Structure formats: C-alpha cells, structure tokens
Copies of this chain bind each other. A is one copy, B any other.
Amino acid sequence: MQDNLMDKIMEEVMKKVGDSSAPEEKTEAPKAAPKACGLTEYVGTAIGETIGLVIANVDYGLHEAMKLDKKYRSIGIVGARTGAGPHIFAADEAVKATNTEIISIELPRDTQGGAGHGSLIIFGAEDVSDARRAVEVTLKELDRTFGDVYGNAAGHLEFQYTARASYALEKAFGAEVGKAFGITVGAPAAIGVLMADTAVKAANVDVVGYASPGNGGTSYSNEVILFLSGDSGAVRQSIIAAREVGKQLIEAMGGPAPSSTTPYI
C-alpha cells in the first residue's frame, strides 16, 4: 500500500514540477491547451508557447513606430517563447498558401532557460482574412516543423528542410526563393560546428550561411546554425547525415533526446 501511495505521490509531484520548472527546448514545448479567449484578434496557440494574433487595422501612430509599410492595413502576428526555425519554416508555407507578405522576423534569446530562440513573425496583408489565414496555416504547420527538434537537459538539435523555399526563408535566412533549402542547428554550439562539417561533407550542397554565438546571427544563443541549399536530394542527405552525428553527441552529454513531435525529414 505504501508503494501505491508513493507512486501516486510521485506522479502528482512530477506533474506539478513539470509545470513550474524550466525544461529544455524539447520538453518545454507542450501543446498549450487552447482556452476560450473572446478577443476577435485572437487566432490560437500552439506548441512552443506559441500564440497567433491578427490586427485588422493597425493604428497609424503604431504603424510609424513599428516601421510598417503603409500598404498593409492588416497584420498577422505569430510569437513564441520556444522555437524560431519551426516557426519560420511554418510561416514559409503560410506565405506560399496565402495572399500575404512577411514584414519582419525577429529572434529573441529565449527557449525558457534553454539554449536557443523564441520568435516574432509579422505578416502583412491588405485584408484581415488573409492575415488570419496566414497565422492559422503557421500554427497548424508547427506540429510538423517541430518534428526534427530533439532535446534533453544538455541542449537541443534542430533540422528543417523544404524542397522549395519561399519569402519567409529568404527574409530570415537569405534562402533563394524556389530552391531546396535546409538548416542544421546544434546546441551547445560545439555540436553545431561538427554537424555543419558533417553536412557539407555528406553531399554536394552550397553553404548559404553560418551563424554562431558571436557573429551576430544568433542573438547570442548557444547554437551554431548552418544554412544549406542545392539539389533537393542533396540537401536532405546532408541534413540526415548531420542529424545522425548530432544525436550521438547530444545523447552522450545528456541521455535520450527524443523528437518534440514526429520527425518529418
């Protein structure tokens, strides 16, 4: 009986503890239970402490302060505590699927005590229904784009891939629109360096960029990020090779590092 009690207590405790502690990228990204929110501007929430909002008519004074182009009356807003890659690749699908443009992408240093970023993405549209649609598509895509985010107490890995980059990836990472594009992210940054080397050796790909903690590309996150383009098969092959190496390293540091949702690459 004492054992049963013990189990019950531990379960209760770990539930509460899980709520109040600041875990790593992987575990801190539970699907937020969407509550009732009556505001018309509210679109929804998603994994990674993500929230989606729209403003039908941005106030003129704020328009100026935010340095928005005047042609966009309506904006869509996606913000997250945890995750930048997943959100930017999701937003890329949203831009393809809707009549919107990416106004800005900003990368706070966050992940709720983890080693990486959160994100703030703003879509511009002439009509609020387009802005809302872009936010909805982004929130929906996140379940997929968190699929190759792996984490444990030591750090996290992230991989993203698209056969055809669009304007969100061009804006954020300098991807060439219409070409295959992918990224490898390793934290702590040392792992990212070795994954980058592995990726470029694994197939015939082009290095579009390389971001490290001190070169201004990462908001001082503890990550090294490689940006790749090329033939779509080659980009995938590079990323898969990097993933294999990265997982061995992060697991040598901190034990099992499962996917946040379901791997897609």
Using a CB–CB cutoff of 8 Å, the interface residues on chain A facing chain B are 2, 5-6, 8-10, 12-14, 16-23, 27, 32, 34-39, 41-42, 45, 49-53, 55, 58-59, 61-62, 64-66, 75, 77-81, 104, 106-110, 112-115, 118, 120, 122, 153-155, 187-191, 193-194, 196-197, 200-201, 206-207, 209-210, 212-215, 218-224, 226, 245, 248-249, 251-255
Contacts and interface: CB of A to CB of B under 8 A. Distances in A.
- Going nearest first, the 3 A-B pairs with the smallest beta carbon separation are A79-B190, A113-B113, A106-B214
- Among the interface residues A9, A22, A188, which one has the most CB atoms of the partner chain B within 10 A? A188
Given A32-B253, A120-B188, A219 B220 contact: yes
A118 B197 contact: no
A255 B240 CA distance: 38
Contact of A213 (B2, B42, B108): B108
A200 B61 contact: yes
Contact of A251 (B35, B108, B210, B214): B35
Contact of A51 (B27, B37, B249): B249
A62 B59 CA distance: 46
Nearest to A212: B106
B16 A17 contact: yes
Contacts of A64: 207
A41 B195 CA distance: 11
Nearest to A64: B207
27 contacts: A6-B12, A10-B12, A13-B17, A17-B17, A20-B27, A22-B23, A35-B255, A36-B252, A37-B251, A49-B254, A51-B249, A53-B191, A55-B197, A62-B197, A77-B194, A79-B189, A79-B193, A79-B222, A80-B188, A107-B213, A108-B115, A108-B189, A108-B213, A108-B222, A109-B222, A118-B189, A220-B220
A156 to B, nearest CB: 11
B61 A193 contact: no
Contacts of A62: 196-197, 200, 207, 210, 226
A113 B222 CA distance: 12
Contact of A222 (B41, B81, B187): B81
A81 B32 contact: no
B209 A65 contact: yes
A36 to B, nearest CB: 8
B81 A252 contact: no
Contacts of A23: 20-22
